[in-house]
Amino acid sequence: MRFRAKIVDLACLNHFSRVINTIAKLAKTCTLCLTDSKLYFILSDKVANGGVSMWCELCQGNFFDEFQMEGVAAEHNEIYLELVPENLSRALKTAQNAKAVKIKLTNKHCPCLRVAVELPSLSSSSRIVTHDIPVGVIPRRLWNDFREPSVPDFDVSIYLPVLKTMRSVVERMKNLSNSIVIEANLSGEMNLKIETDLVSVTTHFKDLGNPPWGVKTPSDVLTKCGVLMLLASEDGCQSSAQGRDLESMAEARIDIKKLQQLLAGQQVNPTKALCNIVSKRVVHFILLHEDVSLQYFIPALA
């Protein structure tokens, strides 16, 4: 089991750092899955038990100048590691003006991701700062716990407003209540509502648009190595939204702090952002960049 990678391009390095910073804001610990073509950051708290769930997918070819990995076996060419993303985020903060960054899986005293940052120096030699980030190796028998989540059988799917605007609204609302109601319809309308015994506040968004969903797998809307794919099948939308009244609202009440955490930690700057609402069950967010996709599930409150 081996892994080593290198980033030389400064723009790619800064972009990778922003992705890791976003992950660190969303998860105290997470699973990093390495394959020969992709990296996945996974938080698999059970939504049914009230926990959030996350799936972030990166195409390694868009970030790394060199990338080599050998999984646990030829037929299972993957590596699953448990890590604290904040530790990786801290290591990359020292690399803002680096000449190169090397990441390697080592096992000197315990399994670690070694991040070696090559910094420019006034002399002819380079200065190298090394960070050893402890990781846990997840055994093969547990890999099925970290598979890509399926898109829920949603009632409404809608594009989100500008995230900075949405974040500003939610930050003001979180001082009024611990929960927020998100509701939307198939006419491109979305409302954010706070309802308490003392106050009722609603922010309306219109003309947001609804994605042309075709089939119900995340691969149909997520970035695939730089290509945004929104497929429409011959049968139209395969969801419970089919045949739904265009003006009818689907809604879910969720923890406002979890929503605020998603919006406040967002550094990926997505080109597309949408959410799927399963009434009174879950809100599924999808943030798309040309080479990064992030899915985030927030369960509804009773």
What pLDDT is stored for residue 74 in this prediction? 77
pTM: 0.85
CB burial string 42-51: b at 16+ within 10 A, e below: bbbeebeeee
Residues 6+ apart with CB under 8 A from 229: 219, 220, 221, 222, 223
In whole angstroms, how far apart are CA 102 and each of 62, 95, 168?
16, 11, 37
- In 3D space, the residue among 60, 14, 15 whose CA is nearest the CA of residue 33 turns out to be 60
pLDDT digits (tens, 9 = 90+) for 114-141: 999 998 877 767 789 999 999 999 999 9
Task: Indicate the SS3 state at residue 208.
Answer: coil
For residue 240, is pLDDT > 50? yes
- In 3D space, the residue among 297, 52, 283 whose CA is nearest the CA of residue 155 turns out to be 283
What pLDDT is stored for residue 242 in this prediction? 61
What pLDDT is stored for residue 155 in this prediction? 93
What pLDDT is stored for residue 236 in this prediction? 38
pLDDT digits (tens, 9 = 90+) for 134-170: 999 999 999 988 888 777 789 999 999 999 999 999 9
Q: Rg of the chain's alpha carbons, rounded to an integer? A: 21
* Lowest-confidence segment of 66-70, 93-97, 100-104, 266-270 by average pLDDT: 266-270
For residue 39, is pLDDT > 60? yes
- In 3D space, the residue among 34, 51, 53 whose CA is nearest the CA of residue 42 turns out to be 53
What pLDDT is stored for residue 238 in this prediction? 46
What pLDDT is stored for residue 159 in this prediction? 96
- In 3D space, the residue among 250, 248, 246, 247 whose CA is nearest the CA of residue 182 turns out to be 250
What pLDDT is stored for residue 213 in this prediction? 65
Quickly state the pLDDT bin for 225 (edges 50, 70, 90). very low
pLDDT mean across residues, the chain: 85
Return the H-helix or E-strand segment holding 259. Answer: helix 256-264
CB burial string 156-183: b at 16+ within 10 A, e below: bbbbbbebeebbebbeebbeebebbbbb
- In 3D space, the residue among 151, 90, 134 whose CA is nearest the CA of residue 285 turns out to be 151
Q: Which two tokens stand for residue 9?
A: 């391009």
Domains of the chain: 2-146 (3.70.10.10), 156-299 (3.70.10.10)
